[in-house]
Amino acid sequence: MIVVAEDGNDSDWAMQQLEARFDIKDMGDEMKVLGICIECTEDGLVLHQRDTIEELLIDMEMATCRSVSTPMESRPLSDDTPMEQTSLMRRAIGSLLWISNCTRPDITAAVNYLARFVARPCEDHWRGMKLILRYLRGTTSLGLLFKRDQGIGCKWHATIFSDADWAGEKSDVKSVSGAVLVLNGMVIAWSSKKQISVALSTMEAEYVAAAMAVKEAAWIKQLLVEIGLWKANVAVSLQADNQSAIKSMENEMTSARSKHINVRYHYIRDVIARGDVSVSYCPTQQQLADILTRPLQRVVFERLREQLRVVRLA
C-alpha cells in the first residue's frame, strides 16, 4: 500500500490509523512494488528498476560489459543465421519488455523491435539484444520522474504525442507507430507498434499512428471522468507533426489519398468531430514519440529522453 498526501502530517496520521488496526510495516520514503523502486526526491517521485537491470546484466553475463550511448543501431538486423539456443534470448527479451513497459520508454523501440523475432531469433538479433544491455549497463541509474505540483492545481490536462516511421520495418516495409501520453506534464503511458498494413505514404502512416494513439488515450480519459478528475466535454490534445495527416483528420470528406485507408482508422475523425480530441501541429524537434519509432542519433536521442523525464538518480 502506498500512502500519498499533500501534507506530511496527514500521511503520518493515516499511517497511525492503519498501524492501530493492522499489522503493517512502514517502509519509509523508498518503496519497492513488483520490482519497481519508488524514491522520493526533491523534484518529486522517481520510478526506477535499477536492481532488476543489474540482476539481468549478471544473468546475461554482461555486468562488466562496455556501455554504449544508444540502445539501437540504424542498420537492419540480418536473419541469415538462426540461433541454436533460443531460450536465453526469450528470457532476456521478456525481462527487457517488463523494464521498458514500466519505467524505461527510452528502450521501448529497440526492445519491441527485437520482440518480433523471439519465435525464431538469429545471431544478429542476439547481438541487438546485447546492445540494449550495453546501453542499460551505462544507464542503470535512470528512472522516470513524476514532478511535484507546479501550480497546476486541480486543472487536469492531457496531451498525446503521435508519430510514425514510414516503411520503417525493412523486411515488409510496414511503418512503425509511436505514442506518448502526458498527463499534467508527466509521462504515464507510451507505445511502439508495427502497423498491420503497408502505408502508401507518410501521410497515411501518420494518420494510422494517430488513430492508434487516440484509441489508447480514450481509456485514460474515461477513467479520469469516472473518478471525477476530468470533465467529459474537455478534449485531449493530440500532437502530430504531419500537416497533411492533420488536414485529413479534420476533413470528413474522403479524398483520393485517404479513400483506401481501412475504415477502422477513420475513428479518429469521429472523436475529433465530437470534440473528444483536438489536434494540433507539433514541430518534429518537439515530437516526443519520435524516440519510439526508429533509431536516433545520440544528441537527438538524449534530448528526447530528457523531455520524457527519464532522469538520472542522485
pLDDT in tens, the chain (314 residues): 777 776 667 778 888 888 888 887 776 666 888 889 999 888 889 999 999 999 999 999 999 999 999 999 988 888 888 998 899 999 999 999 999 999 999 999 999 999 999 999 999 999 999 999 999 999 999 999 998 765 445 578 899 999 999 998 888 999 999 999 999 899 999 999 999 999 999 999 999 999 999 998 888 888 888 888 788 888 999 999 999 999 999 986 666 566 678 778 888 999 999 999 999 999 999 999 999 999 999 999 999 999 999 999 87
Residue 204's domain spans which residues? 152-282
Q: Mark whether 138 and 159 lie in a shared domain.
A: no
Domain count within the chain: 3
Q: Mark whether 167 and 232 lie in a shared domain.
A: yes
pLDDT (0 to 100) of residue 24:
79
Q: Mark whether 158 and 266 lie in a shared domain.
A: yes
Give Cα 198 to chain centroid, integer Å: 23
- What nine digits make up the cell of 305? 529522453
In a domain, residue 41? The reply is no
Q: Is there a contact between 206 and 164 (Cβ–Cβ < 8 Å)?
A: yes
In a domain, residue 118? The reply is yes
In a domain, residue 58? The reply is yes
pLDDT (0 to 100) of residue 295:
96
In a domain, residue 194? The reply is yes
Q: Reduced to 3 states, what is the DSSP secondary structure of residue 171? A: coil
Dmax over CA atoms of the chain, in Å, equals: 69
Count Cβ atoms below 10 Å from residue 91 Cβ, excluding itself.
14
Q: Mark whether 250 and 158 lie in a shared domain.
A: yes
Nearest to 246 by CA among 211, 220, 274: 211
Spatial strand order of the sheet with 142-147 comes to 31-33, 36-40, 44-48, 142-147, 310-312
Q: Is there a contact between 145 and 163 (Cβ–Cβ < 8 Å)?
A: no
Q: Mark whether 191 and 226 lie in a shared domain.
A: yes
In whole angstroms, what is the distance from residue 4 CA to residue 30 CA? Answer: 13
In a domain, residue 233? The reply is yes
Contacts by 170-175, CB closer than 8 A, 24 or more apart: 170/76, 171/76, 171/79, 172/198, 173/198, 174/198, 174/199, 175/199, 175/205, 175/208, 175/209
In a domain, residue 110? The reply is yes
Q: Is there a contact between 168 and 74 (Cβ–Cβ < 8 Å)?
A: no
Q: Mark whether 232 and 137 lie in a shared domain.
A: no
Q: Mark whether 128 and 189 lie in a shared domain.
A: no
